[in-house]
Amino acid sequence: DLHGKTALVTGSTSGIGLAIAKGLAAAGANIMLNGMGDAAAIEAERAGLEKDFGIKALFNGADLTKADQIAGLIKEIDDKLGGVDILVNNAGIQHVSPIEDFPPEKWDAIIGLNLTASFHTTRLTFAAMKAKKWGRVVNIASAHALVASEFKSAYVAAKHGLLGFTKTIALEGAQFGITANAICPGYVHTPLVDKQIPDTMKARGMTEEQVIKDVILAAQPTKQFVTVEDITALAVFLCSDAGKSINGAPLSIDGGWVAQ
């Protein structure tokens, strides 16, 4: 039961983040939504959380590649929702390209959002979690925190880095009732995956059907996408009392991908 707790879910206007925000709201937590997208659609989601679950939900559209905007986001939660108890670092982007053509600005953006933003959100919320002697940091990493695929150099580097960061935070919070873990999903059918299909077609010289069968589903022994509901259930469990001894762990949820 997460009543009285406040969760920040970064990148929660879409895909995995939106599903986790709903799952935490259903468990009783107040929610700060964050991300990009259509203002009216986001407002409908925000109002829906309050109506469906009887919690407080706010939205802040901070661009998490900007440290000053992250500070503004955390301050709004401190002022209006009593600080962050549950931090879900989920916002992420992908770019698929052979290394020799990889645009340096895409490298910087991916490291900035998928890795450095989590440093800033954690840095700015950790003292309050320590003072409350309770906290949960749930980092949405990837199977690519554990293994690589070609043409995803920045993403794989950022996700491996995020796992190392998670382990460090796990040690720093261990005596204070704080856990930090990395959820490592395989392929989930979200806009992030849809967007990389054309680039993967180009990079590998394949049709769309070949990319789905031979690249995406080839990686997953189940031959099925992981669902946002599967990931949400794991995230909510990590935030529960029963999750208190899971700390510093990479939690694979990938249909068996990294077992190979």
Active site residues: 155
Could you say whether residue 146 binds ligand NAD (CB under 6 A)?
no
Tell me how far apart the alpha carbons of residues 130 and 257 are, in angstroms, rounded to a whole number.
36
Minimal distance, residue 156 CB to ligand NAD, in Å? 11
Could you say whether residue 247 binds ligand NAD (CB under 6 A)?
no
Mark 1-20 with x for binding to ligand NAD (rule: CB under 6 A) and - for no binding: ----------xxxxxxx---
Could you say whether residue 192 binds ligand NAD (CB under 6 A)?
yes
In the range 60-99, which residues lie near ligand NAD by CB under 6 A? 63-65, 90-93
Minimal distance, residue 55 CB to ligand NAD, in Å? 19
Tell me how far apart the alpha carbons of residues 186 and 210 are, in angstroms, rounded to a whole number.
18
Q: Output the CA torsion 1→117→163→31 (10° steps).
A: 10
What's the token pair of residue 173?
């919070």
Q: Are 182 and 250 in contact (CB under 8 A)?
A: yes
Return the number of the residue (54 or 229) whose C-beta is nearest ligand NAD: 229
Tell me how far apart the alpha carbons of residues 43 and 112 are, in angstroms, rounded to a whole number.
27
Residue ranges of alpha helices (H) inside 13-90 are 15-26, 39-53, 67-81
DSSP 118-143: HHHHHHHHHHHHHHHT-EEEEEE--G
What's the token pair of residue 182?
């990395």
Minimal distance, residue 71 CB to ligand NAD, in Å? 14
Mark 31-60 with x for binding to ligand NAD (rule: CB under 6 A) and - for no binding: ---xxxx-----------------------
Question: Interface with ligand NAD by CB under 6 A: which residues?
Answer: 11-17, 34-37, 63-65, 90-93, 113-114, 140, 142, 185, 187-188, 190-193
